Chain A
């Protein structure tokens, strides 16, 4: 679903290898070319996470530790 919007640099090649190692360690083996696509997509999610981290969540707000479920807004 996530597409390859983020192109790999040298660090990306390392990321690609790390992803392959991680997935293989879980018993998941994909066609070789797909590890590169995963690395590009994962880089996109890491960019999104960076924006969240810059914002900083209110870690003392205990409500934030509740996992949402049905009826969350009731």
Chain B
């Protein structure tokens, strides 16, 4: 076997576990060794749950040896973003205020993954309360990008992105309110899937902005994303935002055949102010899809130009309501950047909020028109590569550009519209990964997985992995 166990994907591991050729205990130890060894450098984990992970792995191993194999996630070690309720365990949400919070029930996604047989290895670093895109966490330390530890892993699910890229977990879950699954996935060179709003229950997930929040997989491969989505998708009576729509059989869509699919390309928003090398990588990806048999069609989505206003007034209004009391009672217990965001949240008027919702309707209308004649829209996930830790501004084609706007402006349309979006690695710019975003029709994650799978088979990262070393960055 050429790869170490911790470097393997779910699709590689699960048949070997099912055939009893790999021990879940040995696999879990391999992940724990990698996590313990590299966490001082990457700081992806807030907490490594070594003893309980080994206990769970032993239980899974016994079940499998007795012939009770549950499916492709049985015996797979996974660490999750520290935003989910886990019964009897501390969940910090990346905050000081909730540093000792212990839930008395499991989040629905945690419950479903446990039922599928995963081994939980710990909780992963995140931007405080998911309110930011850098994972430069003032309470638990900055998480670092495995491709360049001077740079951010993105956020808010930065610990998940970094841990998957650095083989410190086999896969993870993230949450996404303005791109927080897709930003770190793109920046860390992995696969991230934000499903349709209402596809995955958010019950037991600490909210940032409930009408924009989503939960989804962050994985090494498209197949792994399909496997995890299969496990967590579905209506949940405990979450009124879930929708009772039948769940597709996602692995059935994992085909290299995309002949005849129509790919929409929008130039006026998604290709404006994009780093030249990033744009070149994504355009090359589009050409690859064309070579695989897809038809390319130029499209227009006029109301995308109001994305940032709608995103900001919505996230500010909703997050401000959630944290209002703590802003009155203990504002200094928030990190400075989150405190500023929550201070800003007190400023928009009710009219601003409603205007934001009107723009959302218009964006949805635009996308619905587009999806009458195309199957998938392709765009850059980000206009930039990973900024350095602490940078407020980055250089974009020689011009100074605001990092936070660059992180969210291509991702937010799918939070505002609720449409599913998959990011897949499509190349490198200056040695840093670039992501290509695929946007689909509501509840049609299957077609996104089909296109993503076909593209992945062209091996756009050329098997490159981050080169980790043992130096701890000061």
Contact = CB atoms under 8 A, between A and B. Distances in A.
Contact of B348 (A38, A45, A72): A45
Contacts of B341: 1-2
A62 B359 CA distance: 13
A1 B354 CA distance: 22
A29 B338 CA distance: 15
B343 A34 contact: yes
Contacts of A31: 332
Contacts of A41: 340, 344
B328 to A, nearest CB: 4
Interface string B105-147: 0000000000000000000000000011100000000000000
B361 A22 contact: no
A27 B402 CA distance: 31
Interface string A6-19: 00000000000001
A70 B392 contact: no
B355 A49 contact: yes
Chain A contact residues: over half helix, strand or loop, or mixed?
loop
B362 A64 contact: yes
Contacts of B339: 30, 34
Contacts of A42: 344, 347
B419 interface: yes
B340 A73 contact: no
B278 interface: no
B343 A28 contact: yes
A39 B420 CA distance: 35
Chain B contact residues: over half helix, strand or loop, or mixed?
helix
Contact of B418 (A4, A30, A34, A73): A73
B243 A74 contact: yes
B417 A73 contact: yes
B245 A71 contact: yes
Interface residues of A, number: 38
Interface string B340-363: 110110111000101101111110
B346 A22 contact: yes
Contacts of B198: 70-71, 74
- The interface centre, meaning the residue of B240, B306, B358 with most chain A CB atoms within 10 A of its CB, is B358
B19 interface: no
A28 B343 CA distance: 8
A71 to B, nearest CB: 4
Interface string B412-445: 0000111100000000000000000000011100
Given A37-B340, A73-B441, A28 B419 contact: no
B346 A28 contact: yes
Given A48-B309, A71-B418, 8 more contacts: A4-B392, A26-B328, A28-B327, A45-B344, A64-B362, A67-B357, A69-B211, A70-B418
Interface of B: 131-133, 196-198, 211, 240-243, 245, 305-306, 308-309, 312-313, 327-328, 331-332, 336-341, 343-344, 346-348, 352, 354-355, 357-362, 364, 367-368, 392-393, 402-404, 416-419, 441-443
Interface of A: 1-5, 19, 22-23, 26-31, 34, 37-38, 41-42, 45, 48-49, 51-52, 55, 57, 63-74
29 contacts: A1-B337, A1-B338, A1-B404, A2-B341, A3-B403, A3-B404, A22-B347, A28-B331, A30-B331, A37-B340, A41-B344, A42-B347, A45-B309, A45-B312, A48-B309, A57-B359, A57-B362, A64-B362, A66-B357, A67-B211, A67-B357, A68-B416, A69-B211, A70-B240, A70-B418, A71-B243, A73-B442, A74-B245, A74-B442
